[in-house]
């Protein structure tokens, strides 16, 4: 028996916990505390991470001041249209600038809804609804966004807004929301319409709509090439004095065609969007070398403003793993504190409630999380809160609790778990009323991979699913993505990607040691090849009763990326060399048909030398015996899949 009141007795083990908070650097705290990636997309380069916790941004302070004034006004006059509209807009802006896990979203929506009821002029109504669409999309309330936009788009068109930036944005958001709901055909139609509307009207939508398209006609590829060429030359600078007359004419022609973009397409994200789209278009045509060039340009543009430091990330992970030390086996307990620590991590003082079981899907992006979510939420008892995780807001508090001197505040740990669950219950209802009473709620904030220690401590009932995928395929897929979140800044450079993959592998292995069998590893390839078997295992792991409805609809299979870029082996080296061992190990244990030993050997040379000079490999496994051990453990943990 373990008595939490005896926590203080085990002095020997105390420093490790007392120091837990001090161990965690501000940057990690910021990471843990910050809300989901989407909402945090506004974080700027060089921004002092500490400020996000302790010091408030002056703009945020000012907006909050304005907000309380508006609240008073609306309190005095609940039908004040202008104040309601301002209030909604302000709340939406605060949700971006000062994310609090989405708490302001329902308030903003209520204000907009009320404003909409008061507006009669179709143009005004369209405008309010467009603002609402923006917010719903940012908050990832896709169903509701589609509902609103479906009514608003025809209204806006009828009221003469058809060729405006507002209208183009509406179409773009409509398309994105449809895509998120899995209505790809409808989404494609809307992306094409957004592109058409945006030409010479909305540079931002123009760039982003290209990115949404899945197929490009010959004419469209030419247009994209032209646009990308203009942006590239603008970026790199044109030395007009040294151009021949012919070159000068050509440049002036090009510049004239795109003057409407110039100056307005300031956003590096939009500039890179055009390059990402061009890469996709060239890939579609089988022009892989040009595709690679465009992809490289796109990522370079992003990397220059979304700075990322490998060393910091590694430090953070080191601190995290030191904080959550693997508990000793019972026969090795030296004192009461060892026993308490083990019980704590088994969730002895966490909160469980039979009416709601949380499911956390964690891992790296492009590993099948969205597919898994889509399949599981077909079940009538499984709802989802998407990436708006309820967990991060509790982390700082939990960390403080672990560092408390004296008696372990067990009731407070229970209360923190209770708060997380209560919030998930509320969020799922807000997102989709039909799932308000769901027994299972899925949270798809992938970086919660960092937070499994906290989940194990506060939510003993939580079902944790770690999505995995062939490392090279996953890494390259990330490189092809125009990610926006602050958790994906490693995705713009192949060496950074390889480093991140190995680092997260290390984190996942740590949790397996800390809480054996707690995490189910779900391979993307298995999910695609043997969907029913894998989904049955997942549902069994989470205790979801079987229902045939989950098997409706088919997955989309992504093909082998490495093979596709084979002609340019040298460019893939920064990704493949550090990942070589992991790739082979992954393929072996997954039983993949596409064993890439020979391919890697032809690209990177014989494996023998690798082991000695491959220092990146040591992040994951260290000595070869350590590697074997890790492999055996990984196999053990995966047996059930």
- Applying CB under 6 A, the span of 71-79, 82-90, 265-273, 408-416 interacting with ligand NAG comes to 408-416
429 binds ligand NAG (CB under 6 A): no
Among 8, 371, 415, 569, binds ligand NAG (CB under 6 A): 415
Residue number, 63 or 404, with CB nearest to ligand NAG: 404
Q: Closest distance between ligand NAG and the C-beta of residue 132, in Å? A: 15
Among the residues of 351-391, which ranges form H helices?
369-376
Residue carrying the six token digits 């991590």: 345
Among 27, 155, 192, 422, binds ligand NAG (CB under 6 A): 422
How far apart are the C-alpha atoms of 373 and 522, rounded to whole Å? 12
476-481-483 Cα angle (round to 5):
130
414 binds ligand NAG (CB under 6 A): yes
23 binds ligand NAG (CB under 6 A): no
Residue number, 126 or 493, with CB nearest to ligand NAG: 493
- Applying CB under 6 A, the span of 26-34, 160-168, 407-415, 464-472 interacting with ligand NAG comes to 407-415
412 binds ligand NAG (CB under 6 A): yes
**Contact residues for 555 (Cβ-Cβ < 8 A; gap 6+):** 371, 375, 527, 528, 531
Categorise residue 570: left if φ over 0, alpha if ψ from -120 to 50, beta otherwise: alpha
122 binds ligand NAG (CB under 6 A): no
Give the Cβ contact number of residue 303 at 10 Å.
18
Residue number, 238 or 415, with CB nearest to ligand NAG: 415
- Applying CB under 6 A, the span of 79-87, 122-130, 413-421, 534-542 interacting with ligand NAG comes to 413-421
Q: Closest distance between ligand NAG and the C-beta of residue 404, in Å? A: 5
What are 191's two structure tokens?
Answer: 């992306």
Residue number, 422 or 592, with CB nearest to ligand NAG: 422
Q: Closest distance between ligand NAG and the C-beta of residue 543, in Å? A: 16
How far apart are the C-alpha atoms of 434 and 380, rounded to whole Å? 9
- Window 486 to 515, contacts with ligand NAG (CB under 6 A): 493-495
Residue number, 206 or 341, with CB nearest to ligand NAG: 341
Binding mask 552-591 for ligand NAG (x = CB under 6 A): ----------------------x-----------------
Residue number, 90 or 146, with CB nearest to ligand NAG: 146
404 binds ligand NAG (CB under 6 A): yes
Residue number, 400 or 594, with CB nearest to ligand NAG: 400
How far apart are the C-alpha atoms of 495 and 585, rounded to whole Å? 20
What are 443's two structure tokens?
Answer: 């949270």
Categorise residue 7: left if φ over 0, alpha if ψ from -120 to 50, beta otherwise: alpha
**Contact residues for 95 (Cβ-Cβ < 8 A; gap 6+):** 39, 102, 104, 105, 108, 135, 138, 139
Tell me the backbone φ, ψ of residue 260, rounded to 5 degrees. Answer: -65, -25
Contact assessment for residue 444 and residue 387, using Cβ atoms and an 8 Å cutoff: yes
| Residue 584 burial by Cβ neighbours in a 10 Å radius (0-12, 13-18, 19+) | middle
Among 123, 188, 335, 418, binds ligand NAG (CB under 6 A): 418
188 binds ligand NAG (CB under 6 A): no
Among 5, 150, 217, 624, binds ligand NAG (CB under 6 A): 150
Q: Closest distance between ligand NAG and the C-beta of residue 374, in Å? A: 17
What is the edge-to-edge ordering of all strands in the sheet holding 357-363?
382-384, 440-443, 357-363, 463-468, 519-523
Residue number, 279 or 637, with CB nearest to ligand NAG: 279
How far apart are the C-alpha atoms of 485 and 471, rounded to whole Å? 21
- Applying CB under 6 A, the span of 257-265, 410-418, 519-527, 617-625 interacting with ligand NAG comes to 410-418
Secondary structure (3-state) at 340? helix
Q: Closest distance between ligand NAG and the C-beta of residue 494, in Å? A: 4
304 binds ligand NAG (CB under 6 A): no
Q: Closest distance between ligand NAG and the C-beta of residue 97, in Å? A: 29
DSSP 464: E
Give the Cβ contact number of residue 598 at 10 Å.
8
How far apart are the C-alpha atoms of 207 and 191, rounded to whole Å? 11
325 binds ligand NAG (CB under 6 A): no
- How many chain residues touch ligand NAG (CB under 6 A)? 16
531 binds ligand NAG (CB under 6 A): no
Report the Cα–Cα distance between both ends of the chain, in Å, rounded: 34
How far apart are the C-alpha atoms of 467 and 464, rounded to whole Å? 10
Q: Closest distance between ligand NAG and the C-beta of residue 178, in Å? A: 8
- Window 338 to 357, contacts with ligand NAG (CB under 6 A): 353, 355
How far apart are the C-alpha atoms of 222 and 209, rounded to whole Å? 16
Binding site for ligand NAG (CB under 6 A): 146, 150, 353, 355, 401, 404, 409, 412, 414-415, 418, 422, 493-495, 574
């Amino acid at each position: 028996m373990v008595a939490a009141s005896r926590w203080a007795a085990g002095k020997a083990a105390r420093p490790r916990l007392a120091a837990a908070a001090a161990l965690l650097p501000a940057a990690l705290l910021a990471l843990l505390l910050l809300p989901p990636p989407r909402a945090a997309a506004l974080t700027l380069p060089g921004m002092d991470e500490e400020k996000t916790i302790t010091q408030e941004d002056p703009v945020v302070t000012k907006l909050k001041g304005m907000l309380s004034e508006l609240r008073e006004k609306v309190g005095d006059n609940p039908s004040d249209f202008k104040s309601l509209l301002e209030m909604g807009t302000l709340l939406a802006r605060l949700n971006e600038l000062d994310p609090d896990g989405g708490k302001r979203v329902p308030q903003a929506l209520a204000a907009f809804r009320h404003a909409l009821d008061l507006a009669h002029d179709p143009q005004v109504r369209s405008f309010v609804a467009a603002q609402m669409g923006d917010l719903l999309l940012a908050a990832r309330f896709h169903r509701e966004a589609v509902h609103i936009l479906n009514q608003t788009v025809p209204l806006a068109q009828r009221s003469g807004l058809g060729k405006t930036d507002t209208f183009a944005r509406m179409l773009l958001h409509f398309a994105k929301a449809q895509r998120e709901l899995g209505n790809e055909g409808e989404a494609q139609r809307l992306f094409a319409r957004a592109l058409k509307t945006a030409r010479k009207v909305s540079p931002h939508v123009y760039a982003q709509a290209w990115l949404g398209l899945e197929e490009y006609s010959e004419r469209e590829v030419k247009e994209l090439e032209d646009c990308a060429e203009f942006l590239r030359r603008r970026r790199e600078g044109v030395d007009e004095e040294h151009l021949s007359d012919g070159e000068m004419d050509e440049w002036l022609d090009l510049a004239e065609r795109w003057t409407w973009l110039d100056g307005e397409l300031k956003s590096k994200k939009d500039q890179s969007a055009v390059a990402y789209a061009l890469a996709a278009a060239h890939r579609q045509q089988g022009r892989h070398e040009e595709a690679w060039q465009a992809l490289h340009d796109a990522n370079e543009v992003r990397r220059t403003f979304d700075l990322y430091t490998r060393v910091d990330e590694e430090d953070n992970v080191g601190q995290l793993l030191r904080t959550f030390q693997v508990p000793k086996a019972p026969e090795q307990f030296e004192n009461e504190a060892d026993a308490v620590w083990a019980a704590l991590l088994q969730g002895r003082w966490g909160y469980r409630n039979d009416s709601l079981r949380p499911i956390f899907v964690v891992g790296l992006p492009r590993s099948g999380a969205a597919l898994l979510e889509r399949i599981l939420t077909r079940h009538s008892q499984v709802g989802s809160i998407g990436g708006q995780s309820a967990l991060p807001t509790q982390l700082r508090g939990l960390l403080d609790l672990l560092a408390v001197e004296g008696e372990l505040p067990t009731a407070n740990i229970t209360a923190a778990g209770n708060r997380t669950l209560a919030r998930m219950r509320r969020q799922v209802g807000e997102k989709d009323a039909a799932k308000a009473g769901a027994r299972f709620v899925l949270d798809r904030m992938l970086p919660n991979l960092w937070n499994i220690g906290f989940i194990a401590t506060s939510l003993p009932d939580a079902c944790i699913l770690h999505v995995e995928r062939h490392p090279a395929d996953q890494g390259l897929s990330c490189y092809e993505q125009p990610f926006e979140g602050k958790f994906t800044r490693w995705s713009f450079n192949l060496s950074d990607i390889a480093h991140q993959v190995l680092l997260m592998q290390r984190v996942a292995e740590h949790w397996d040691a800390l809480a054996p069998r707690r995490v189910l590893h779900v391979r993307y390839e298995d999910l695609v090849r043997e969907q029913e078997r894998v989904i049955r295992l997942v549902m069994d792991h989470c205790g979801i009763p079987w229902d045939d409805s989950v098997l409706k609809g088919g997955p989309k299979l992504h093909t082998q990326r490495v093979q596709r870029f084979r002609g340019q082996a040298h460019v893939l080296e920064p990704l493949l060399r550090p990942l070589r061992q992991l790739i082979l190990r992954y393929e072996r244990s997954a039983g993949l048909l596409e064993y890439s030993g020979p391919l890697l050997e032809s690209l990177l040379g014989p494996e023998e030398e690798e082991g000695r000079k491959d220092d990146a490999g040591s992040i994951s496994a260290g000595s070869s015996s350590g590697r074997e051990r890790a492999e055996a453990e990984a196999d053990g943990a995966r047996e059930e899949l």
